[in-house]
Amino acid sequence: MTKPAKYKRVLLKLSGESLMGPDAFGINRDTIMQITAQVKEVVEMGVEVAIVIGGGNIFRGMAQSAKGMERATADYMGMMATVMNALALKEAFETQQIKARVQSALSMQQVAETYARPKAIQYLEEGKVVIFAAGTGNPFFTTDTAASLRGVEMNCDIMLKATNVDGVYTADPKTNPEARRYQQITFDEAISQNLKVMDATAFALCREQKLNIVVFGIFKPGALKKVIMGEDEGTLVHV
């Protein structure tokens, strides 16, 4: 008998940079198909998946132009970059016969639905992947904060923060061979050790709302499924 998934509904936080693959910026087709294939695997297990996507892969290419810009204007530009990424993700899912919907915190009805919590929950219950774009719709808030907010609003069981590293370490594993991966750690321990799991606002919201976080490596084959099954993959940050 197949072991059931540990989590029924999850919020997956993807950085825009995760879509670049080996490229300097933009969207790498092979990379986005690899990521969506991992999500497809868990969707086909009956897991409901919501995604919040960043925009760094696109906005990075405009970063020089944004220098000296008013912060709010630059943030709105970044939000629109996340919409482009969300549309690319939707297309990649549908190429793999997975139904997906994009909801944007900024109103742009020609390309995406405007965010509506009841509709998003309905889509999840129907087995569709819901991709949340444009962050919170407000400047001065990161997409980490948007992920925490949507995770709470969607009543998700867990937030999954996809990174280039397979968990939270005692030090940077790229520069310190003695660095050790935490299997699990509490919110309080992460704060006291100044471990940068995500930005402070997002982290505080997850802690307050008791939304646990798993930090894992999105490019490790099968990692997402292992996390969903409750196996020792990544780092669990818990209350």
139 a known binding residue?
A: yes
- The angle that helices 143-153 and 200-208 make with each other, rounded to 10 degrees, is 20
Reported as a single tens digit per residue, the pLDDT across 9-44 is 999 999 999 999 999 889 999 999 999 999 999 999
164 a known binding residue?
A: yes
How many CB atoms neighbour CB 169 within 10 A?
18
CA atoms within 13 A on the CB side of 137: 12
Would you state the structure tokens that stand for residue 42, as one six-digit string? 């868990």
180 a known binding residue?
A: no
Q: What are phi and psi of 216, to 5 degrees?
A: -145, 165
Alpha-carbon distance 4 to 194, whole Å?
Answer: 35
Do 227 and 47 touch, CB atoms closer than 8 A? no
21 a known binding residue?
A: no
Is pLDDT at 2 greater than 80 in this prediction?
A: no
Query: Residue 160: which of 174, 170, 171, 150 has the closest Cα?
Result: 150
Average pLDDT value for residue range 219-233? 96
151 a known binding residue?
A: no
Sequence-ordered list of residues with C-beta below 8 angstroms from that of 229, at least 6 positions apart, any chain: 3, 5, 6
145 a known binding residue?
A: no
Would you state the structure tokens that stand for residue 139, as one six-digit string? 């400047």
Q: Residue 3 — very low, low, confident or very high, per pLDDT cuts 50/70/90?
A: confident
Measured between its terminal Cα atoms, the distance across the chain in Å is 32
Alpha-carbon distance 159 to 131, whole Å?
Answer: 14
Would you state the structure tokens that stand for residue 87, as one six-digit string? 């549309």
More confident: 206 or 4: 206
Do 213 and 168 touch, CB atoms closer than 8 A? no
More confident: 68 or 73: 73
2 a known binding residue?
A: no
157 a known binding residue?
A: no
Q: The whole model's pTM is what?
A: 0.95
14 a known binding residue?
A: yes
Alpha-carbon distance 72 to 8, whole Å?
Answer: 36
Average pLDDT value for residue range 132-161? 97
141 a known binding residue?
A: yes
| Domain residue ranges in the chain | 9-238
- Matching CATH number, 9-238, of 3.20.20.140, 3.40.1160.10, 3.30.1360.10, 1.20.120.10: 3.40.1160.10
Q: Quote the mean pLDDT of the chain.
A: 94
Would you state the structure tokens that stand for residue 157, as one six-digit string? 């069981």
169 a known binding residue?
A: yes
25 a known binding residue?
A: no
Is pLDDT at 63 greater than 80 in this prediction?
A: no
138 a known binding residue?
A: yes
143 a known binding residue?
A: yes
220 a known binding residue?
A: no
116 three-state secondary structure? coil
What pLDDT does residue 173 have?
87
Q: Which residues of 9-28 are buried (b: 16+ CB within 10 A; e: fewer)?
A: bbbbbbbbebbbbeeebbbb
> What distance lies between CA 194 and its chain's CA centroid?
22
In this structure, the dihedral spanned by the alpha carbons of residues 214, 215, 217 and 223, taken in order and rounded to 10 degrees, is -10
